[in-house]
Structure 1
Amino acid sequence: MFTHLLLHRHKLLLISVLAVMSLLVTLWFGNAKEWLEIDWLDVVGEGGTGLALAVWMLLILGSRPAGRVTDWLTLGLGFLFLALWQDTLDEFIRLPGEQWWDQSLESITMPIGMVLLTVGLFLWHREQLVLNEHLRKREQLFREHHLSDDLMYLGRADFLHQQLQQFQHRQPAMLVLVELTDAANWPRRLGITDADRLLRENAELLLMNLRRQDLVCRYAGARFAIVMPDTTEAQACTIAWELQQALEHCALRSSSGERVFQQINWFALPLTGEDAGTLLQRANSGLEARQQARSAA
């Protein structure tokens, strides 16, 4: 978060300078109100809203890269904050009647901020549509960031359980488990950093070779689960075989330049209305039996 805030330090500096200037000018021309004259309900309402806007702005700047969307959102929230900041100052400081600029500042900055924020939200909406398309194979129509794997940004097993219940209604549908059978040796052979990177790259290869409607999750370790809606068993087996060929014929490289080939095992199972736990148990048993048969051969 702090790295992103440093990236936007000029925006934060500009808004801070304007807020300090507003305070200094108000103090210069005005006089402090008596304690009993202060409307504390207005202070809490306007000051609290201004504080919330400032927090929103920090959250946006702390989580977004630079760009048009960030600029418009920041400008909009910044103008709204300045309007409420001036409103809050007026609750503590009385300005002479001839100081027209005070009311003008509040009346102008508020609508300008609303317009800028609306433009920013419209651009954010368009940006979100692009990101939704980019993340479609990772989440489909359900997003819950706390159910995502931190290494590959794929859904975890608990996310997979939820999705299996949803996909049960889209028959025919298939569940395919794909495992990198030699990945368990990578940390010892290549180091943890390279092992994690190779897992991420294999996850990207899976995403690249799947259809738009398919969903990929990291089930456990180097085992991935693919949910394929509107897919027959024959189609799923063909796709899984093609995935195996694509991954096994792609040589990734370690940081030392060593070529690393993958060994892939997979098992396909139709979604037949069972609960997710039973379905996954059957899929795991089938995957392990298939691996034992390959090892015996």
Structure 2
Amino acid sequence: MTTTWSAVQGSVRYEARMAARGRVLWLSLLPLTALAVLLALSSPMVTGMADPVGRVGMTLVVVNTFAVAGLGVALAGRLSQHTRPGLTEVLDTTPAGRTTRMAGNLAGALAVALAPIAGVVVLIGIVVSAQAGSVAPVVNSLLGIVIMLVPAALAITTLAGLLGLLMPVVLARVVVVALWLWATQLSPGFVPVPTPTGTVLSPLGGYPAVAWLGARHVWAARGRTGFLSPPAGAGSALLNIALVLLCAVVFFCAARLVLAWRADRHDGQDGAIR
């Protein structure tokens, strides 16, 4: 157990340093984060909220829509970069198992990528608190990071990592953004295909935003009805969070299976050559 934990810590620290040095992370993440901030500060959808806490909730909806999409673009190649010929064999000699390395790989990169987004959310919460003369907005910005930003970030990071193993990374970045918008913004009223938008499967965080952060009710069910689009409340918000985290686990496990299949195929090819 101690060896595994040490391996995870080492992997997280290494991947965090590598992610911080990578240009792709900042080139994809910072522009989309800046766009989210601009919209949060200028959009009537956000600034029109009379309730300061509701303004923070709407800010988090905007941030989850745009800035979190940047996470998927930035981190799509985090798993595939460790499958290069020769590198896999070197990594397999370390004490950490493949699952441990995967977890550390994604956690380290995600921690670095989430820091500026979370910092922006807290900063906006501080500004709104100063304007309202209340600490409630900044407190709720911290709550929103936990209940909205982190589950969404885990879902898109694991999905992007999986896609990066299944297709060229450049294509994976395009696909993950398309899937993100499909799951968070494109309701059946706009596109003639089934979509998670407006259901408890959507990673946007609309249900927690409405239930606990005062966001507009439309951002939960989005006008839909049915058992997947219940009224916003504490129960449906908790269910939304749980299902988004479950999706992240499923994506992670699928990526682990792909890596195992690749390793078995590589071992088989090596055996055939010998």
Q: TM-score, normalised by structure 1?
A: 0.24
Q: TM-score, normalised by structure 2?
A: 0.26
**Structure with a larger share of its residues in helix:** 2
Higher RCO, 1 or 2 (CA under 8 Å, sep at least 6)?
A: 2
**Structure with a larger share of its residues in strand:** 1
